[in-house]
Structure 1
């Protein structure tokens, strides 16, 4: 069984509760939680109790535990009063704890103690309140993945479910900065990363559709010229490298064409490259966040996460749905085993 680390996420959100629910079933086999024992015991109580939570000293120590037991590797350096941080609120203590868990998870997976990381949701405002200089998981993981004395590797965010896979050129920046970030180099690098990732998951020649930035993909320059100046040349350069990329296509229709819902609607494309965060993620999330999985492409290790946030509005209620986390675990296990997502679109 492939060993995976699950970080508990923001202690004030639903992350710990979704993790506790996951361990009530078989989907969590081979997983160890990196977090706070007290927070996870509270989550077990909030989600119905009768779930033993055991502190372990090493990732491998979960092997002797009984079934349906939640093993927690206590993260080091967490705030001593973390349980005092109120549920459903932004709190610097929770942001600091979430960051420490991510840092230690990367150290453990790079040391070979686990095959991959599945991250429960964090809150960007809590990270900022704790003085963490990253806007989200993707940027933090990219920095942590850098070899000593070497630049951080280029990474991209992919959101996938059973019907769509979308890879983003720009992510957690303002829309104005995102438009500035749509450059020839950024688009071409995104296409290359998506192509290389697909090869690793067993799909060596993915059909990559590249969405435009402007309405109707610029309509020949009438609504903006980024497609003519930047995106089309990047697609042409990728094709010259032997990549099956095409576009730019109108962003309001390309996702319908790529949606894979057989037998009535087999997708025309395997991956869609989107220029901005919302262009790419709204179509995937509309199909159902409970099945969506976030995969960070370009890292030297496997990392996935559920397709939802901290949901402060229901934190502490026990109503959090663990479906997306289960899909993220399943996807991480397949990617770590080299099985990937070829031969079937669903991450489950």
Structure 2
């Protein structure tokens, strides 16, 4: 349901997630889509006072109550945390409740009670101490979605969209884990999402080379010719406008960015460094390949800013706006 409110999770309770939700509601305008925060209303009230925001809260028991009250109060879907959350000091005791908030949000969007999930950043090491076994949000959301779901990380801003083919692994492991099949699968999911979620009818995919100068014909590494080039050939045979492997060092300047819609990089920093350099505050983390819309601010828990009132809402605002746009496109699709 594209007109249902958006579900926002608190993320790490000791981080900036609740600050951002409060700030976004306080700065709302007519274009801000209705959303509700899954959190403890008392905890949210304490944080609002701490950061100096006068925000009326509306505790709710069901998402459908959010839209009616959003104009005058921040809807907070009641969700308990067992331990006090001190800004900047994560407590593993709150780990299970943090994960449960994500699980609730996914359940609500899959039943149509919420239009999309926007997840605030989590503190992974704290969740690991509480028994969390997934590498991060992306993998956990995929696990909630079904055994055949392949999640793909997209970082998106007005200036640039990028997808890392391999994500949170050591750089030394990238050549071993990078396969033609993995590149093709990632590209197929990316191209489908560009059409369905972003309205790009004929998406242009640029695939970065792994090695300097895309391998220099094998002189600087065989992966570009042996692994990436065959993937490009397969994609082009399927009708996907894929180009590469292209030297990464000339792929991100202003003129180059007019020649493609999204870049597929072979490892995490190859594409995250450029987008965060171009637009650190406006970037959005999107998980492609899921049966629901999920976005997130493209930054971490910012523990040092939690409770100070200094955290910027830009990325959460961009994540909320993008989630609503994606949800509406999906709802309107055949």
TM value normalised by structure 2: 0.93
Q: What residue in structure 1 maps to residue 212 of structure 2?
A: 215
Corresponding residue for 1:263? none
Matched, 1:195 2:191: yes
User: In the alignment, what sits opposite 1:127?
Assistant: 127
Kept in 1, the 8 Å contact 2:82–2:93? The answer is: no
1:169 corresponds, among 139, 158, 165, to 165
* Matches of 2:328 and 2:158, distance apart in 1: 19
Pairing 1:4–2:3 present? no
SS of residue in 1 equivalent to 2:253: helix
Displacement after TM superposition at 1:240 (Å): 0.5
Q: CA deviation at 1:2?
A: 4.3
Q: Deviations over 1:59-107 (max 9, x none)?
A: 00123326241111123xx4422x2x43213421343332111111111
2:265 aligns with 274
SS at structure 1 position matched to 2:231:
helix
Query: What is aligned with 1:54?
Result: 58
Q: d(CA) in 2 for partners of 1:170 and 1:68?
A: 44
For 1:159-308, what aligned pairs fall within 5 Å after superposition? 159-200=155-196, 201-256=198-253, 260=257, 267-308=258-299
1:18 aligns with 2:20: yes
- Shift in CA distance, 258/311, structure 1 to aligned 2, threshold 3 Å: farther
**Distance in structure 2 (CA, Å) of the matches to 1:217 and 1:63:** 51
Rounded Cα–Cα distance in structure 2 between residues aligned with 1:64 and 1:115 = 16
Contact 1:47 1:318 in 2 (8 A): yes
Per-residue deviation at 1:46?
Answer: 2.7
How many Å separate the matches in 2 of 1:95 and 1:119?
Answer: 15
Look up the SS of the partner of 2:45 in the other structure: helix
Counterpart residue number, 2:95: 95
Please list every run of at least 4 consecutive aligned residues from structure 1 whose deviation after the TM superposition is greater than 6 angstroms: none
- How far apart, CA to CA, are the structure 2 residues paired with 1:102 and 1:66? 21
SS at match of 1:235: helix
Report 1:73-152 matches (<5 A).
73-75=77-79, 78-81=80-83, 83=84, 85-146=85-146, 151-152=147-148
Whether the 8 Å contact between 2:193 and 2:289 is mirrored in structure 1 is yes
The equivalent residue for 1:345 is none
SS in structure 2 of the partner of residue 312 of structure 1: coil
What 5-or-longer segments of structure 1 have no aligned partner?
261-266, 341-348
Q: Distance in 2 between matches of 1:90 and 1:237?
A: 46
Alpha-carbon spacing, 1:36–1:258, altered in 2? closer, same or farther (3 Å): farther
Change (3 A) 1:44 1:250: same
Higher RCO, 1 or 2 (CA under 8 Å, sep at least 6)?
Answer: 2
Query: Cα RMSD (Å) of the superposition?
Result: 1.8
Native 8 Å contact 2:4 2:113 kept in 1: no
Are the aligned partners of 2:13 and 2:90 in contact in 1 as well (CA < 8 Å)? no
Count how many residue pairs are aligned between Structure 1 and Structure 2. Answer: 326
Report the Cα distance in structure 1 between the residues aligned to 2:278 and 2:254, rounded to whole angstroms.
14
Greater mean deviation of Cα atoms: 170-179 or 156-165: 170-179
State how far apart, in whole Å, the 2-side matches of 1:259 and 1:315 are. Answer: 38
Shift of 1:204: 2.1
Unmatched tracts of structure 2, length 5 or more:
none
